[in-house]
Structure 1
Amino acid sequence: MSLRSALSTVVTRWRPVNPYALDTALASLVLFAVSLQWIFPDEGDDPLTWQGWLLGAATAVPLVWRRRAPCTTAWAVTAATPAQALYHAPPPDVMYGGMVVLYTLATVGRPWQRRMMLTGWVIGVVTTMQHQTDKEPFEYAFHLMGLVCAYALGMLARVQRAYTTELEDRARRLERERAADTARARAEERARIARDMHDILAHAVSLMVVQAEAGPVVVRKDPERAEATFDTIAATGRDAMTQLRRILGVLKEERPGDETGRRLPQPSVTALPGLVRRVQDSTGLRTELRTRGEPCPLSTDTEVAAYRVVQEALTNTVKHARASRAVVELDWAEDQVTLTVTDDGRGTSGQAGGHGLIGIRERAAACGGSAETGSGPDGGFRVVVRLPAAADREGALG
């Protein structure tokens, strides 16, 4: 295990502990360290007095408040340490309190506070030791290196804390963005499913209603045609059920090894001739498909949108327009396809309201296209939808 991993483990274990309890324990440890000269007196010439012990205790006790009042604690320790050194009964062997306050200010203090405190301690140590004739040169380096190392460790802790805070903030932002993206994707998927279900049900039910209304008339005059009419109703219902199962399948959890939903093809532009023929056979509406230009590759979503737009436009014609004829035009260009559905019915008043036209506009916008609806040039109603070609032509062709 690396040193960084070991320190992270220790910090993680101690983090739940009350910080003031830790500061009290730290102050007690420093007080014990400065009291070692009284606990284990040596044979040296340094005198030991109770006033000297009080000055030593003054460098340790303020550490209890180092988190609540770091600047005040630093000044208290800064005043007591040189007083103990000058009183010399005994002088401090190691400036434990000074190293702790420098570490604390480097971690939580403002820039001017920590820089001023470090400069003051370095100058104070050099000045104080100049008044003590029995000090060796290595003692200067020992005390100064101790202070500088404590300050450096505090700065490292400060940088590490800022880095950790930034990572946590970034993780929270990413989590919020991911949640927003998920909610947006769910809303878009619900809207897409709603549009598909509306298009399928509206188209199928419209054809079935037209056939059912004609059934009682032909059953008396032409039994064979009546039988064909009921077969058409059944076939339309079965086709609608198949498409609904495919759409509702995405709402269920995918089972391992179940590839049925993936194998079912989505409708595309190539299925439009069958759609036009089916509408004409089922309703008696004279429907014509016209194509101009060279077909360009479309993305899968655009292919589905093109089919659904024509399906919804023909459904509206059957339900609302009271038309006898409808023309579907595909005008291919290099970078887009224009779909136009025109009928000779009642015009705008016959198709106002409802969700069908809204769904057409939403489908076009979702693919980066546009939709226009309104009266045709010769009367009736016209739907014009422009859909862009695939951005990656080679990928779309492949």
Structure 2
Amino acid sequence: MDQSLSRKRSRADWVVDTIAFLGAVLVGMILFDENRDDPLPNWLFAADFYTGMLLCLLLWFRRRWPIQLAVLAAVVSVYSETSGIAALILTMTVAVHFRLRVTLLITALNVLSVIAYALVREKTDPVGIVIVTASLLYVGAIGWGLYVRSRRQLLQTLRERAERAETVARLQAEQGQLRAREEIAREMHDVLGHRLSLLSVHAGALAYRPDASTEEIAGAAEIIRSSAHQALQDLREVIGVLRAPVGELPQPTFADLPVLIEGAQRAGVPVELKLDAPGALPEHVGRTAYRIVQEGLTNAMKHAPGAPVRIRVTGAAGNGLTVDLSNPAPRRTSSGEGQGLTGLAERAALVEGRLEHGWTPDGDFRLTAWLPWPA
């Protein structure tokens, strides 16, 4: 059964029902007037007229009881010519809202009523002609009803597809936003963690160097002030991206790696860099390499302050890029730490690379990553 039968009648439904009612009444009265000369008793003429008009009136309820009224129309059509158009409309209603099997059963019942009508009304036309004519009318009504039904189903299918497409697009947009925010969270960890590690190194130097000269104290304070200002600036950029509907945090490139090393050296971290990677790296690979070096420096300053850090970044197109960081005697991380290394492993996996970390037999902590570099 069509679900449109249970919905509230719309303005268009009111217009259609009004036209159907008026058309059925008008045609019914014309047919009744044309058949006044039939040799029938007066009570049959009266029954024809009043039951036919009643059936026309019941067209207003055809959306509520379509099958019941169609069966009633088949019964009334046995003797009533006035109800002919109303019976056609009720049969078409069944074709619009129900499956073909139900429609065919109602149609067969109406064909039987037409045969009985030809016998009861004692028509001068042959019974075969009456049956063929009535059958053609019912076939036309059923065909129109099936067309309306198929069109409604097509529109409903297209509407559902559009709604599903909108839902899928909304979910994809939400997933994209979640991935963007996850990336922003990683950037916050990498950028702010590195800045705050520099602050910690200089603040610790001031705390353990009470005999430092005024110039040294002023220089360390200036570096602390500059790093704190830059950390706040990075935080503002992150908050701005989170508030904006669309946007990305400014991404570093592989070419910014020397600047990163220089900043760590200014902070007093003894860093030795060997860079041997001629050629143009893919952007995503270069950015991943930068983040690995940045996280390695941050961990070194956090867990082994003052210890020298050796960095090797070597590779070539077709062979891949190797990033290797090591520093002696780190302080082993406690439970709950190491989230930055987990994030680095995920970064490397996203570009189809791999990352390893751990302690060497000499007691150094080593962080090694291999990233693909297509030829």
TM-score normalized by the length of structure 2: 0.77
Selected match of 2:281 from 285, 293, 297:
297
- Note closer, same or farther for the CA distance 1:107–1:128 as it changes in structure 2 (3 Å cut): same
Aligned to 1:6: none
Structure-1 separation of matches of 2:110 and 2:159: 35
Deviation at 1:169, TM superposition (A): 1.9
Deviation at 1:370, TM superposition (A): 4.1
Deviation at 1:293, TM superposition (A): 5.2
Selected match of 2:339 from 352, 355, 361:
355
Equivalent pair of 1:70/1:105 in contact (CA under 8 Å): yes
Selected match of 1:110 from 94, 99, 102:
99
Aligned to 1:154: 145
Aligned to 1:396: none
Deviation at 1:290, TM superposition (A): 2.8
Aligned to 2:5: none
Structure-1 separation of matches of 2:225 and 2:254: 25
Deviation at 1:353, TM superposition (A): 1.0
The residue type paired with residue 251 of structure 1 is L
Selected match of 1:68 from 45, 64, 71:
64
The residue type paired with residue 149 of structure 2 is R
- Note closer, same or farther for the CA distance 1:73–1:387 as it changes in structure 2 (3 Å cut): farther
Structure-1 separation of matches of 2:212 and 2:51: 121
- Shifted more, 315-324 versus 48-57: the winner is 48-57
2:270 is the counterpart of 1:270: no
Structure-2 separation of matches of 1:338 and 1:117: 80
Q: In the TM superposition, what whole-angstrom CA distance separates every residue of 1:35-70 from its partner, at most 9, and x where no partner exists?
A: 4556x6787556562132245346545545433333
TM-score normalized by the length of structure 1: 0.73
2:298 is the counterpart of 1:315: yes
Equivalent pair of 1:369/1:386 in contact (CA under 8 Å): yes
Structure-2 separation of matches of 1:56 and 1:221: 113
2:331 is the counterpart of 1:342: no
The residue type paired with residue 375 of structure 1 is W
Aligned to 1:249: 240
2:357 is the counterpart of 1:373: yes
Selected match of 2:268 from 280, 283, 291:
283
CA RMSD across the alignment: 4.0
Structure-1 separation of matches of 2:357 and 2:185: 21
Selected match of 1:173 from 164, 171, 183:
164
Structure-1 separation of matches of 2:335 and 2:343: 13
Structure-1 separation of matches of 2:206 and 2:164: 62
Structure-2 separation of matches of 1:162 and 1:112: 17
Q: How does 1:1-398 map to 2 (within 5 A)?
A: 16-17=10-11, 26=20, 30-31=24-25, 33-36=27-30, 44-45=37-38, 49-57=45-53, 59-60=55-56, 63-84=59-80, 91-92=81-82, 95-118=84-107, 121=110, 125=114, 132-134=123-125, 143-215=134-206, 220-253=211-244, 266-284=251-269, 286-292=270-276, 294-295=278-279, 297-300=281-284, 302-322=285-305, 324-332=307-315, 334=318, 336-346=320-330, 348-349=332-333, 353=337, 355-376=339-360, 378-389=362-373
Structure-1 separation of matches of 2:22 and 2:162: 39
Deviation at 1:315, TM superposition (A): 0.6
Aligned to 2:3: none
The residue type paired with residue 327 of structure 1 is R
- Shifted more, 359-368 versus 144-153: the winner is 359-368
SS across alignment from 1:309: helix
- Note closer, same or farther for the CA distance 1:348–1:18 as it changes in structure 2 (3 Å cut): same
Ranges in structure 2 where 5+ consecutive residues have no aligned partner: 1-7
Structure-2 separation of matches of 1:139 and 1:387: 87
The residue type paired with residue 177 of structure 1 is V
Equivalent pair of 1:296/1:336 in contact (CA under 8 Å): no
Equivalent pair of 2:118/2:127 in contact (CA under 8 Å): no
Structure-1 separation of matches of 2:372 and 2:354: 9
Q: In the TM superposition, what whole-angstrom CA distance separates every residue of 1:290-322 from its partner, at most 9, and x where no partner exists?
A: 34555453235x433332232122111111134
- Shifted more, 204-213 versus 332-341: the winner is 332-341
- Note closer, same or farther for the CA distance 1:58–1:351 as it changes in structure 2 (3 Å cut): closer
Deviation at 1:23, TM superposition (A): 5.9
Aligned to 1:8: none
Deviation at 1:158, TM superposition (A): 1.0
Q: In the TM superposition, what whole-angstrom CA distance separates every residue of 1:135-169 from its partner, at most 9, and x where no partner exists?
A: 79998776444323321221122112212222232
Structure-2 separation of matches of 1:152 and 1:112: 14
Equivalent pair of 2:66/2:93 in contact (CA under 8 Å): yes
Deviation at 1:282, TM superposition (A): 0.9
Query: How many correspondences in the alignment?
Result: 362
Structure-1 separation of matches of 2:124 and 2:61: 35
Structure-1 separation of matches of 2:154 and 2:176: 32
- Note closer, same or farther for the CA distance 1:157–1:337 as it changes in structure 2 (3 Å cut): farther
